Amino acid sequence: NAGVMQNPRHLVRRRGQEARLRCSPMKGHSHVYWYRQLPEEGLKFMVYLQKENIIDESGMPKERFSAEFPKEGPSILRIQQVVRGDSAAYFCASSPVAGTLNEQFFGPGTRLTVL
């Protein structure tokens, strides 16, 4: 049973470009979460999605950031007009059922570098 998959593992963008990060949850998981880790810090929640629905986006910056989890295909975290401060590791996690034990399984992360 494959784990949570994220791609690309490393992404380099110049300021002003767009970054697209992809996440495929574990088989059978319908809940996806995105977290961001800045250097030397813990992971910070960004957004929680179920298929075709955004459940909680309280951790998402109001501008330039968006997320989706379509009926078919991976979840996408999109960052428009990237700035140097967006450089971080972005982790996706998935879980099978919400409302019970909140164990989340994490992917390997995408390391975004903005030049």
Partner 1 sequence: DQQVKQNSPSLSVQEGRISILNCDYTNSMFDYFLWYKKYPAEGPTFLISISSIKDKNEDGRFTVFLNKSAKHLSLHIVPSQPGDSAVYFCAASARQGAQKLVFGQGTRLTINP
Chain contacts with partner 1 (rule: CB under 8 A):
4, 6, 31, 33, 35, 40-45, 48, 55-56, 58-59, 91, 93, 95, 98-99, 101-109, 111
The distance of closest approach from Cβ of residue 107 to partner 1 in the complex, given in angstroms and rounded to an integer, is 5
107: its two tokens? 């992917």
CB-wise, 18 or 23, nearer to partner 1? 23
Closest CA to 3 of 85, 111, 94, 90: 94
The distance of closest approach from Cβ of residue 17 to partner 1 in the complex, given in angstroms and rounded to an integer, is 23
Q: What ranges make up the beta strands (E) of 4-85?
A: 5-7, 10-13, 19-24, 31-37, 43-50, 53-56, 65-68, 75-79
User: How wide is the angle at C-alpha 17 spanned by C-alphas 12 and 33, nearest 5°?
Assistant: 70
CB-wise, 13 or 94, nearer to partner 1? 94
CB-wise, 5 or 76, nearer to partner 1? 5
The distance of closest approach from Cβ of residue 114 to partner 1 in the complex, given in angstroms and rounded to an integer, is 19
CB-wise, 13 or 110, nearer to partner 1? 110
The distance of closest approach from Cβ of residue 16 to partner 1 in the complex, given in angstroms and rounded to an integer, is 27
Which residues neighbour 20 within 8 Å (Cβ) at sequence distance 6 or greater?
A: 76, 77, 78, 79
